[in-house]
Structure 1
Amino acid sequence: MTPRGWALLTLAGLVVALAVVAVVLVPWNRPPAPRADQLAALRDLPADQVAHARTFRGDLRPGRYLGLAVGLLAALALGLTPLGSRLIDLVGRPFGGHWVAQAVLGGLVVVLVVDLVTLPFAAWRHSVLLRYGLSTNGWGGWTVDLLKSYAVSAVIGAVALLGFYTVVRLAPRWWWAVGAVGAAGLVTLLSFVLPVLVEPVFNRFTPMEPGPLRTELTNMAARDGVPVKDVLVADASRRTKAVNAYVSGLGPTRRIVVYDTLLREATPAEVTSVVAHELGHAKDRDVNVGTLTGALGAAAAVIALYLLGSAGPLPRLAGVDSVADPRAFALLFVLVTLAGLVAGPVQAAVSRRVEARADAHALALTGDPATFEAMQRRLAGINLADPDPPRWEYLWSASHPSTVERMAAARAYARETGR
């Protein structure tokens, strides 16, 4: 069998594996609460709060979708015309056209160009956050955070690009196989390493002061079978008024992280409810499942790129012979971008079901639906979340159940348990 035949067979196996993982490990049996219950919850929210949140989201929407459209057009212009390959060739000329310069510097420049054309829309978003008082980070701090994110992305991107094109040169006929394994390994590594290494770049973490809340959180984690090493407070208030908490790390590095904004805005019982939700993710190994699906998806993507770009019209459009040429990175970039757009609604649907399971876990762990509902009200109010967003946007990108879905779920739990 030819390498292309093996690639087709392997891709089919990975798609089947992804389907099996999705069927077995994603909690599809948790449909949203009945619509009538959601509408009843919506009526109980203050009308002025709902109107304010919807105005805010409406002001964000043009920048978000225009930025998405402009970024896509830029990627298409670079990847489906010779423009991208010429840009990469130009970047590599000062280094004698060496393939490393083309692969690493050229690839990073392609990504940077797309980032720069969408930068005005990112600034638009930040201006809206400032105007509504949700962001506490001025333009100076926003710029510093932006540069930090560029630096982190550049380091990771440089390693990935160098590794990918090194494999292509060492195994020109079978690079797709080695690349698929490497992509899956990189996704797995980043999933567990990034939270520990990258989080401190953007936030300062301090241990939570000893007291009843810290004791309650650690005891609840132990009772839930998810022991944690520490309970940390993140200085989120230096850039936002939004509230949140999460559990990160594995084994000896697992810790509960609570935003300082959450401690200021919520009652101890509400903080406990939020953390109970996050413990649900750890209990059900949602990070592990997400990493597995991400690794399988990355491996499948590498093989699909090989099959699409090894011959045919796409390389010719990009002005290259195949995707194995470092000058073809812009073509790879646009294909990955398009795949992300197609997969986005599916990923959002999976995420909503996983989040709904974590909500159910929090309700069962705390046995306090009233506090859970109160916390959802508070989250929506502080984060300016539309409690019942437009259906098309919900299906397209919502990673969590809506506020009214979560309130209705709490009420259903209260009816079923008599609490």
Structure 2
Amino acid sequence: MQKRRIALSLAALAALALPGLAHAQSFDVEAATRAYLDTLQGAARAKSDAYFEGGYWLILWGALVSFLTDALMLRFRISAWVRDKVSGRFARPNLVVWGTALLYGLWGSIVTFPWAIYTGFLREQQYGLMNQSFGGWLGDQITATAISLVFFPLMVVAIYAVIRRFPRNWWMLATGVVLFFVMLGALIAPVYIAPLFNKYTELPAGPVRDRIVAMAKSRDVPAEHIYLFDASKQTKRISANVSGLGPTIRISLNDNLLNRTTLPETAAVMGHEMGHYVLGHVWRGILVMSLLAALVFFAISRAAPALIARYGERWGVRDLADPASMPVFGMLLAMAGLLVTPITNTLVRVNESDADAFGLDVAREPDGFALTAMKLSEYRKIEPGPIEEMLFFDHPSGATRVRMSMQWKKDHVPGAQMVVPPPMQQDQPEAK
């Protein structure tokens, strides 16, 4: 009994001497998390869930649309006809491949255009995420297609050159070709491609820039340039990103983030983006995706010759090195992309979670981070099941992020107090 009294006395003295510790120990992470999650209720939650869950089917239907587009080319010998027409104009194999790839890419863009209208414009408009007119959206699509028709044929020429030169082990060198083009795209995109779609300017001086610069200096992140871009002309979504490679790497935020969030929320998001930079996620992502590409190319190197041996005469495809085989590649890539989606989602989600942890440490804004996670529920289901999150989420869910921020608050904020935020706006869901 005496020992128990002494222990209670020591505990009371510790509570008086360290009130922050006592409050932190009493801070209920789950209750604090639930206080945020419960701000999204009724019609708003139903709308958020419906939008994101509908995306699960888009993954499947998108793969089927791509598969059927290529299957039609083979069924009606369109790829063979294109090859023959191009061969009549060019004698060199590389030029034949280039011309065939150009028309193949154009065919795919035209045939899948109705699907692109639904997924990229109509559906976004239905759920209140689209700020752009159809004409503006169409202009961006034409620009994106034109860019792809410049780079895609060049990459295909290099891959088919490798197939002709190394017919047995082409998949290894083809992976290197894809890696080169991915790195080239990452290098030039911020400087030459992104400005074709949005206007990029220096973030103006003020409290937001001062806070971002201070956070950057605390972690040795270059902060000479912080870019703001006008995404609001296209979408309602709040966003920021790390883009570029080597000398072109940069951190950018969109004007929706600047205009629709408070300073603590903006700081939390920008701390997350700095995490991507400091933790080297651009390079890590390129490496991991290259390994996946090698695996997919290896599988194609075994499956494609078997398909051509069985159906090649019917399709007008002679062998794998024949440029008319592009739709065979396309069908197999569509199937592979569908199968590896949970893997790629998980790999990206792990990086995002690491960046979340970094952002909490550098910004020290757990409630700002939680509020931002709730705002992202406009287009991301807030509280999925664990298997659902593992399969379909390429970022941690809102519930996961809020819980992480509240755990960080308990562990790092002396005297942590639970915040009860106001309910989120209950917009009525629009017809699907």
Name the residue aligned to 2:154.
159
Q: Which residue of 2 aligns with 1:340?
A: 337
Give, in angstroms, the shift of residue 194 of structure 1: 2.7
Q: Does 1:201 align with 2:217?
A: no
* Alignment RMSD: 2.9
Larger CA Rg, structure 1 vs 2: 2
Letter matched to residue 69 of structure 1: L
**C-alpha distance in 2 between matches for 1:263 and 1:39:** 27
- Alignment match of 1:111 (pick from 105, 110, 114): 105
Q: CA deviation at 1:217?
A: 0.7
Q: CA deviation at 1:123?
A: 1.3
Mark the CA change 1:55 to 1:331 in structure 2 (over 3 Å): closer, same or farther: closer
Deviations 1:204-237 (A, max 9, x none): 1011111221122122112112223301110111
CA distance in 2, matches of 1:325, 1:35: 60
Q: Which residue does the alignment assign to 1:24? A: none
Runs of 5+ consecutive residues of structure 2 not aligned to the other structure = 1-28, 417-432
Contact 1:64 1:121 in 2 (8 A): no
Measure, in 2, the Cα distance between the counterparts of 1:41 and 1:237.
26
Give the Cα separation in 1 of the matches to 2:170 and 2:347.
31
Correspondent of 1:123 among 117, 120, 130: 117
Partner of 1:181: 176
Going from structure 1 to structure 2, the CA distance change for 1:390 and 1:196 (only over 3 Å counts) comes to: farther
Q: 1:100 to 1:217 in 2, by over 3 A?
A: same
SS of 1:187's equivalent in the other structure is helix
Equivalent in the alignment of 2:26: none
SS of 1:136's partner is coil
Q: Percent identity, please.
A: 27
Map residues 6-405 of structure 1 onto 2, 5 A cutoff: 41-57=36-52, 65-78=60-73, 83=77, 85-92=79-86, 94-95=88-89, 99-125=93-119, 126-170=121-165, 175-176=170-171, 178-309=173-304, 311-319=305-313, 320-380=317-377, 383-389=378-384, 394-405=389-400
CA contact (8 A) 2:200 2:228 kept: yes
Q: Provide the rounded CA distance (Å) in 2 between the counterparts of 1:292 and 1:55.
A: 34
CA distance in structure 1 between the aligned counterparts of 2:399 and 2:375, rounded to whole angstroms = 12
Change (3 A) 1:391 1:119: farther
Give SS of 1:246's match: strand
Shift in Å at residue 82 of structure 1? 7.1
Aligned mates of 2:179, 2:380 — CA distance in 1:
35
2:291 maps to a residue whose letter is L
- The separation in 2 between residues aligned to 1:67 and 1:401, in whole angstroms, is 23
CA deviation profile, 1:44-64 (whole Å, cap 9, x unmatched):
433332123234446666666
1:229–1:255 Cα contact (<8 Å) kept: no
Distance across 2 between alignment mates of 1:168 and 1:69: 27
CA change 1:251–1:223 in 2 (3 A) is farther
Q: Distance in 1 between matches of 2:289 and 2:62?
A: 25
**1:94-122 CA deviation, whole Å, 9 max, x = no partner?**
52676345412222333333333332222
SS of corresponding position for 2:251: strand
TM-aligned CA distance change 1:104 to 1:397, over 3 Å: farther
Partners of 1:158 and 1:278 lie apart in 2 by 33
**Letter matched to residue 366 of structure 2:** P
Instruction: After TM superposition, give the deviation of residue 340 of structure 1 in Å.
Output: 1.4
- Deviation larger for 327-336 or 398-407: 327-336
Cα 1:110–1:254 change in 2 (3 A) is closer
Partner Cα distance (2:47, 2:251) in 1 = 32
Question: Judging changes above 3 Å, is the alpha-carbon distance between structure 1 residues 228 and 139 closer, same or farther for their aligned structure 2 residues?
Answer: same
Q: Contact 1:84 / 1:330 at 8 angstroms: preserved in 2?
A: no
**Deviates most, 391-400 or 165-174:** 165-174
CA contact (8 A) 1:180 1:300 kept: no
Q: 2:174, 2:206 → 1: CA distance? A: 50
CA–CA distance in 2 between the matches of 1:404 and 1:397? 15
Of 172-181 and 152-161, more deviation after overlay is shown by 172-181
Give the Cα separation in 2 of the matches to 1:188 and 1:384. Answer: 29
Alpha-carbon distance in structure 2 between the residues aligned to 1:296 and 1:196: 27
> How far did 1:375 drift?
1.7
Change in CA separation of 1:399 and 1:340 when aligned onto 2, cut-off 3 Å: same
- The 2-side partners of 1:58 and 1:305 are apart by 31
- Specify whether residues 238 and 63 from structure 1 end up closer, same or farther in structure 2 by C-alpha distance, changes over 3 A only: same
Counterpart secondary structure, 2:310: helix
The one-letter code of the counterpart of 2:143 is: K
Give the deviation of 1:37 after TM superposition: 8.5
Q: TM-score, normalised by structure 2?
A: 0.79
**Whole-angstrom CA distance in 2 between matches of 1:57 and 1:285:** 29
- Summarize the Cα distance change of 1:269–1:105 in structure 2 as closer, same or farther, 3 Å threshold: same
**Which deviates further from its counterpart, 175-184 or 371-380?**
175-184
Query: Residue in 2 aligned with 1:26?
Result: none
Q: Quick one: distance in 1 between partners of 2:61 and 2:33?
A: 31
Q: How far 1:267 sits from its partner (Å)? A: 0.9
CA deviations on 1:365-419 (whole Å, 9 max, x unpaired) are 1222111111212232xx3332124666544331101111111111121222344
Task: Measure the CA separation in 1 of the matches of 2:376 and 2:299.
Answer: 41
Structure 1: gaps of 5 or more residues: 1-33
Distance 1:97 1:202, change over 3 A: same
Change in Cα spacing, 1:98 to 1:254, as seen in structure 2 (3 Å) is closer
